[in-house]
Structure 1
Amino acid sequence: MAAKRIFTAAMATETNTFSPIVIDRRAFVESFYAAPGAHPDTATLCTAPIPVGRRFCAAEGWELIEGSAAWADPAGLVSGPAHVGLRDEILDQLRAALPVDAVVLGLHGAMVAQGCDDPEGDLLARVREIVGPDVLVCAELDPHSHLTAKRVAAADFFVVFKEFPHTDFVDRAEDLWRIVVDTLHERVRPVMSTYDCRMIDIFPTSRQPMRGFVDRMMQIEAEDARVLSLSAIHGFMAGDVPEMGTKMIAVTDGDAALGAELAERLGQELFANRGRHMMPVLTAEEAVAQAMAAEAFPVVIADIWDNPGGGTAGDATVVLKALMACGATGVAIGTIWDPIAVGLCTATGVGGVMPLRFGAKSAPDTGEPVDALVRVEALVPEAAMVFGESVVPFGPAARIALLDAEGRDTGIQVILNTVRAQSYDPSLFTAMGVEIAAQKILVLKSTNHFYAAFAPIAAEILYCSAGKPYPNDPATNPYRFVRPDIWPRVADPFATGA
């Protein structure tokens, strides 16, 4: 068999269309950008197909032609120049690589740009136009994405992270490449079937019923050789686009009827459990009271709706204000996004004491700014944490201690950051010199990605709904483009006339 030539690249972010923070080219560079051939050996979430592809192609003796890899931490719309620039950069690299036997991409699936509500579909359609109908085109996706008809028409198949938190992005990239290898060896013929569940929900796999659902998908894949991959597209409720919602994907070995039956059966199972997937949540006052009454520590409070991983600024102060009002001590907050405050702390220097106003600058429903006397405890010019194999930057960053009017320590520490990032891992705190074992309460900005890393060290985890910086109620969110015939906007979207 002649050696194959495969092109790979990545273009990814998650767009909260309600967020006021525009993503430009600089935002991609700050979060993650690798020129062709410069991707590190470790995988970075949506760019995992590139380093994983190196291993698979080396084992086969195939040539892997690497294009650009770009990831921006979630925010609002991607600027038109940033979108078109990254897209055309990858397309030009593909043209220069021709002829190729396959195109393997790392995408997120929830990008929305100025003037384009489906950048991934646009990219895939242009890739298909360049390579023609007979070249294999596939991609790995994040489940918090929009499975548009344009994408399905352009690609041969998708493989999607199964876990939320997304601990399996390398495993799913390996699944993607196994199917690529088997297809190019003519051992399988992937056929993709999809099913529209007509719903909007949140599906953490750290609890039932989604834990069991994912386990069943993996069991079917393991036991039925005709099934190459099963995936649930959760949807991304902060993306106000026409094709937003939950969908199922079944990739089979040439058996479209089996794929359609599986996708519908599993999709209907998701729909039957609608409203039962989301973790129970507390108000800020309830979460603080429960944490302060605890007898084992640390207690983790997850500020789930001020999650930079969902496109918010990450500067809400609602939980912090509630803790301050109750006189809580032994508290570490990670993080509050405030580049201006970090600059002021940097100018003051470690050990410096000053009055500081920080937080709640980005948007309504984020609380009120905090005015406090603070001491600068630590400054890190390039702070970063880990997420699985990935390195996630969040600096320059400062750790401050809140003081009372007499300059005494109140027992509350806050990490201020300049690069928005959700709270993935305890290394967020240790990178800034926080002694986790000495804390009673840790406050995180994350919906569920924190769970895998924090569950082993937390005495208790409390999910907190504090304000509404994120559009978190799909029944009442002020959508303009989301279709009306979708649960919970209607009770039964499958009913006649719904």
Structure 2
Amino acid sequence: MPNDHRRIFVAAMATETNTFSPIVIDRQAFEDSFYAAPGTHPDTATLCTAPIPVGRRVCAEKGWTLIEGTAAWADPAGLVSRKAHLSLRDEILDQLRAALPVDAVVLGLHGAMVAQGCVDPEGDLLARIREIVGPDVLVCAELDPHSHLTAQRVAAADFFVAFKEFPHTDFVERAHDLWAIVVDTLEGRVRPVMSTHDCRMIDVFPTSREPMRGFVDRMMAIEANDPKVLSLSAIHGFMAGDVPEMGTQMIAVTDGDAAHGAALAARLGQELFANRGRHMMPVLDAGAAVAAAMAADTGPVVIADMWDNPGGGTAGDATVVLAELMARGATGVAVGTIWDPIAVSLCRAAGEGAILPLRFGAKSAPLTGDPVDALVQVLAVSEVAAMIFGESLVPFGPAARVALLDAAGSPIGIEVILNTVRAQSYDPSLFRVMGIDPVAQRILVIKSTNHFHAAFAPIARQILYCSAGMPYPNDPAITPYRFVRPDIWPRVADPFAQVP
């Protein structure tokens, strides 16, 4: 075997935990969303598992050996069950032990996982990996920016690379960045050193608008022009995670210059803090959003039910916006989606074309509206419904498309997609796969905070962000946290004044 041959272990374990969500993630939830045994990951990337297919290509070009472990992703919800967490963790650790010796461990993580009895599963995994491989083996991971950058993780890993974009359109590009640093490190050209800065805040940072758009562009310009900088990442934080180290942080990875990285992370972090409260998009309540959509001359107008977002761990079954549309007599409406496995099963049993009284939605939690009782016609049923997200497919079926009818059995102009597998609304293909032409609608109602923007903006005449109810804890100033530290904005006006 040549001296420059390398052996690299790669695996992925990821989900995003809304600690306020009642929906427990068990092993089946990973199986339903995405699970690939070693060597079975598809060639296309799936969000947090992108380091695996990208690593295949890199190692094939270098003539290195890639040892693939398990790749698992569950759509965001509440706590991961202890059994699911330990089984996946130990599965990956056993695979790593069997792969030894290795020159590097490359992981796909989300960063906001919380399990029953373990507040930091990613930190726990990384610490155990470090214990197995020792201090000299490279350990790194790609992260979602909606994560918690804990001290345990920073101590265990050599470096992290996070997605820069929200919506997360760049997870494949960032996996390439991650692997580029791995290659340069193993071939002796760089020595990655990670520096961090705590911004002492929590906010929402859409990169589809200013000021975050310009901030990301500046990060990329620094990476391109500063030879000492290998990577810059803004960790947005995840406000629905009630954990002690929740909050926004900056990461700078430099070539052996920790002082330069620390200064750069602090400067960029201070810029984020200076713009606190200005990042998030303007929002309307349900009444104002529906009124504005109905007043528009042309469609489709997209109403984003931004806080009933399964991508943030909610059920996706809130009916507040739908009830407002029905009350105001809106027509030309398509809603995608409302999660209700029971309603889907009833529609599947009835079959396409059937007319039946149906109760659906608003079963998961308070502040999601009331269940809708309606006469409906089943227009379509799909056992394997899935939408596009980047290079991957996101399942949301079995699913049913129903038309709401009046008492005489005539359509009222509102159609709803009911789904079984929770998924946020990434792409207009979710409507097309169920037989709805999204461009032909006057109003599209979707469940997403901002991931929808890249795919829906090209077809939308107008996008309205709607804050309807509180299925998601969306105001950190009043959220009843138990574990989040008190010294972050907006829990306090000036957190830096609180700390010497």
Amino acid at match of 2:445: V
One-letter amino acid of the counterpart of residue 310, structure 1: G
Does 2:151 correspond to 1:145? no
**Counterpart pick for 1:248 among 247, 250, 257:** 250
Paired amino acid for 2:48: C
Q: TM-score by structure 2 length?
A: 0.99
User: 1:158-209 CA deviation, whole Å, 9 max, x = no partner?
Assistant: 0000000000000000000000000000000000000000001000000000
Corresponding residue number in structure 1 for 2:466: 464
Structure 1 match to 2:122: 120
What's 2:241 paired with? Answer: 239
Alpha-carbon contact 2:232-2:251 (below 8 Å) kept: yes
Q: TM-score, normalising length from structure 1? A: 1.00
Partner SS state of residue 170, structure 1:
helix
Q: Is the 8 A contact 2:332 2:442 kept in 1?
A: yes
Task: State the distance in 1 between where 2:110 and 2:296 align.
Answer: 39
Give a deviation string over 1:120-151, Cα, whole Å, max 9, x none.
Answer: 00000000000000000000000000000000
Equivalents in 2 of 1:496, 1:364: separation in Å? 35
What secondary structure does 2:291 align onto?
helix
Structure 2 residue aligned with 1:28, among 27, 30, 35?
30
Q: CA RMSD in A?
A: 0.6
SS at match of 1:68: strand
Q: Among 283, 286, 290, which residue is 2:285 paired with? A: 283
Q: Distance in 2 between matches of 1:2 and 1:258?
A: 31
Distance 1:291 1:180, change over 3 A: same
Task: Indicate if the aligned counterparts of 2:19 and 2:242 stay in contact, CA closer than 8 A.
Answer: yes
**Partner-residue secondary structure (3-state), 1:66:** strand
Q: Give the one of 57, 60, 75 matched to 1:58.
A: 60
Distance, in Å, in 2 between the alignment partners of 1:5 and 1:383 is 39
The code of the aligned residue for 1:287 comes to A
1:480-495 matched pairs, under 5 angstroms: 480-495=482-497
Task: Please name the residue that 2:374 is paired with.
Answer: 372
Per-residue Cα deviation, 1:67-123 (whole angstroms, up to 9, x for no partner): 000000000000000000000000000000000000000000000000000000000
Residue 435 of structure 1 deviates from its aligned partner by: 1.5
- Aligned to 1:400, the other structure's residue is in SS state strand
> Do the aligned partners of 2:79 and 2:116 also contact (CA within 8 Å) in 1?
yes
Kindly report which structure 2 residues correspond to 1:91-240, keeping only aligned pairs within 5 A, or say none: 91-240=93-242
Residues in 1 aligned to 2:440 and 2:413: alpha-carbon distance in whole angstroms: 11
Counterparts of 1:252-401 in structure 2, within 5 Å, are: 252-401=254-403
Residue 2 (structure 1) shift: 2.4
Question: 2: distance between equivalents of 1:436 and 1:193?
Answer: 45
State the secondary structure of the residue aligned to 1:266. Answer: helix
| Runs of 5+ consecutive residues of structure 1 not aligned to the other structure | none
Distance in 1, matches of 2:119 and 2:379, equals 44
Q: CA deviation at 1:496?
A: 4.4
Q: Structure 2: any 5+ residue segments left out of the alignment?
A: none
Distance 1:12 1:165 in 2: 18
The aligned residue for residue 445 of structure 2 is 443
Q: Is 2:487–2:498's contact at 8 Å kept on the other side of the alignment?
A: no
Q: CA deviation at 1:390?
A: 1.1
Which residue of structure 2 aligns with residue 3 of structure 1? Answer: 5
**Identical counterparts, % of pairs:** 82
Distance 1:346 1:149 in 2: 49
What is the CA–CA distance in structure 1 between the aligned matches of 2:281 and 2:436, rounded to whole Å?
A: 28
Q: Which amino acid aligns with 2:149?
A: L
- Equivalent residue for 1:478, pick from 477, 480, 493: 480
Partner AA of 1:174 in structure 2: H
Q: Identify the residue that residue 71 of structure 1 maps to in structure 2.
A: 73
Q: State the distance in 2 between where 1:100 and 1:224 align.
A: 31
Count of aligned residue pairs for this structure pair: 498
Tell me the distance in 2 between the aligned counterparts of 1:344 and 1:460: 35
Distance 1:419 1:452 in 2: 23
Q: In 2, distance between residues paired with 1:354 and 1:104?
A: 52
SS at 2:54 equivalent? helix
Q: What is the CA–CA distance in structure 1 between the aligned matches of 2:320 and 2:82, rounded to whole Å?
A: 34
Give, in whole Å, the separation in 1 of the partners of 2:349 and 2:185. Answer: 58
Q: Which amino acid is 1:206 matched to?
A: S
Structure-1 residue corresponding to 2:41: 39
Give the secondary structure class of the aligned counterpart of 1:495. Answer: helix
Q: Distance in 1 between matches of 2:498 and 2:193?
A: 30
CA contact (8 A) 2:205 2:280 kept: yes
Partner Cα separation in structure 2 for residue 437 and residue 242 of structure 1: 44
Could you tell me how far 1:497 is from its partner in structure 2?
A: 4.9
Report how far residue 436 of structure 1 moved. Answer: 1.6
